[in-house]
Amino acid sequence: MKLVYLDNAATTKIDNLVLEYMHKSMQDNFGNPSSTHQIGRQAKSALETARKNIAKHFNVTASEIIFTAGGTEADNLILQNAVTNLGVKRIITSKLEHHAVLHTCDFLADEFSVKIDYVEVTETGAISQDNLEVLLESSTDKTLVSLMHINNEIGTILNLENVANLCEKFNALFHSDTVQTIGHYPLDLQKYSIDFITGSAHKFHGPKGVGFAYFKKGFGIKPMLHGGNQEKGARSSTENVHSILGMDKALEIAYQNLSKDKESISYIKNYFIQELKNNFKNIAFNGNSDDANNCTYTILNVRFPVNNDLLLFSLDMHGIAVSGGSACQSGSNTGSHVLSEILDDIENNKTSIRFSFSKFTTKKDIDYTILKLKELLN
């Protein structure tokens, strides 16, 4: 059976060059980076070199990068520090955020009485800039704005510069979950007034279980994990050296090949859109995921004019891996919280599938997927 992987927004295949690099690190850098002997110092040196390399991609200093176990931990570390360490009393976010943000906001509201305000969103999943400005000027409480750059389900792109300028105007802190951005779009943090971002290696062909949080220089960090003094006291736990080096290598490869990969993936996505339109009547694209200017080139969220609860399962039985929403909520029977916000009940009851692409996706993968969709739906 042919296997087709179209769930790259959930995770990506590790690049072979990354695997080779990590394997060599496992052989060479086996010391504990906190140990003072020469083997430990060698691991520490490799770790800090990776930190410097990663920081350069975003035009920041190495001291502003904190290694974590992934994007979820990074979001938690940032949001909790904003409240417990930086005096934030109010968080403005949207109901389209990843649960790493939404559930953390719920926790902070319950535990610390933080006020949570939700900015209005349009039917395409875009943030209402006017409403955001109204919310920012409505209170003098110290505020953090937390809005993801690229939505992980529908791919809508936030205008970072506009939001950053609004936050600066009203003296608010700005956190953006950039997990779907890193490795796919350049991000110069000297151009925007962004205080915090997050990254996760497995979204750009690196290993799972490793990521980073960016804290703009000048912010102290209280750890969520206690027991050691790793990451300059920001995160207790022996660093995952081999995965961190793998993340560094994956990011290097991603940004070296950014233009070429974007062109090839965009071609695949556009070809898929056209084939869907040619073969299926009355399909729709959730958010503006078919709009090349306002959606990432890696995600296409398709709404079929039927309610077929078994479509995901049936595609899987034919070797096609796709998603109905975020992989983190795949065990939920409540559906996509993102689509529930932007679709009415009738449209939300139809079957939607998120297809997401990578540099490894081929035209033959798309042709096979169209063939099986026709068998299952026509």
Beta-carbon contacts of residue 321 (< 8 Å; ≥ 6 apart): 3, 4, 5, 6, 7, 315
Q: Do residues 352 and 302 make contact, with C-beta atoms less than 8 angstroms apart? A: yes
Residue 329: which pLDDT band, with cuts at 50, 70 and 90?
A: very low
Structure tokens at 201: 């290696």
Structure tokens at 232: 């300059």
Q: Do residues 377 and 337 make contact, with C-beta atoms less than 8 angstroms apart? A: no
pLDDT of residue 220: 86
Q: Do residues 297 and 266 make contact, with C-beta atoms less than 8 angstroms apart? A: yes
Q: Do residues 63 and 48 make contact, with C-beta atoms less than 8 angstroms apart? A: no
Q: Which of 20-24, 172-176, 235-239 is the least confident region?
A: 235-239
Average pLDDT estimate for 26-48: 95
Instruction: Give the class (CATH, top level) of 16-255.
Output: alpha beta
Please say whether the dihedral angle defined by the alpha carbons of residues 359, 363, 365 and 369, taken in this order, is positive or negative: positive
Examine the pLDDT at 43 and tell me if it is beyond 70.
yes
Average pLDDT estimate for 284-311: 95
SS in 3 state form for the chain? Answer: CCCEECECCCCCCCCHHHHHHHHHHHHHCCCCCCCCCHHHHHHHHHHHHHHHHHHHHCCCCHHHEEEECCHHHHHHHHHHHHHHCCCCCEEEECCCCCHHHHHHHHHHHHHHCCEEEECCECCCCCECHHHHHHHHHCCCCCEEEECCCECCCCCEECCHHHHHHHHHHCCCEEEECCCCCCCCCCCCCCCCCCCEEEEEHHHCCCCCCCEEEEECCCCCCCCCCCCCCCHHHCCCCCCCHHHHHHHHHHHHHHHHCHHHHHHHHHHHHHHHHHHHHHHCCCCEECCCCCCCCCECCCEEEEECCCCCCCHHHHHHHCCEECECCCHHHCCCCCCCHHHHHHCCHHHHCCCEEEEECCCCCCHHHHHHHHHHHHHHHC
Examine the pLDDT at 86 and tell me if it is beyond 80.
yes
Average pLDDT estimate for 238-242: 94
Residue 331: which pLDDT band, with cuts at 50, 70 and 90?
A: very low
Q: Tell me the C-alpha distance between 212 and 74, whole Å.
A: 6
Q: Model confidence over 116-147: pLDDT tens digits?
A: 999 999 999 999 999 999 999 999 999 999 99
CATH number of 4-12+258-377: 3.90.1150.10
Burial class (CB in 10 A: 0-12, 13-18, 19+), 153: buried
Every domain of the chain and the residues it spans: 4-12+258-377, 16-255
pLDDT of residue 290: 95
**Percent of residues, the chain, with pLDDT higher than 70:** 97
Average pLDDT estimate for 315-340: 79
Q: Tell me the C-alpha distance between 71 and 74, whole Å.
A: 5
Examine the pLDDT at 378 and tell me if it is beyond 90.
no
Looking at every residue in the chain, the average pLDDT score rounds to: 95
Q: Tell me the C-alpha distance between 349 and 304, whole Å.
A: 10
Q: Tell me the C-alpha distance between 286 and 303, whole Å.
A: 6
pLDDT of residue 333: 54
Average pLDDT estimate for 333-348: 89
Q: At what angle do helices 241-256 and 38-57 cross, to 10 degrees?
A: 30
How far CA 347 is from CA of 240, 307, 350, 352, in Å, comes to 44, 10, 5, 9
pLDDT of residue 210: 98
Residue 12 sits at the vertex; the CA angle it makes with 7 and 13, to the nearest 5 degrees, is: 120
Catalytic residues: 328
Average pLDDT estimate for 352-364: 98
Q: Do residues 341 and 121 make contact, with C-beta atoms less than 8 angstroms apart? A: yes
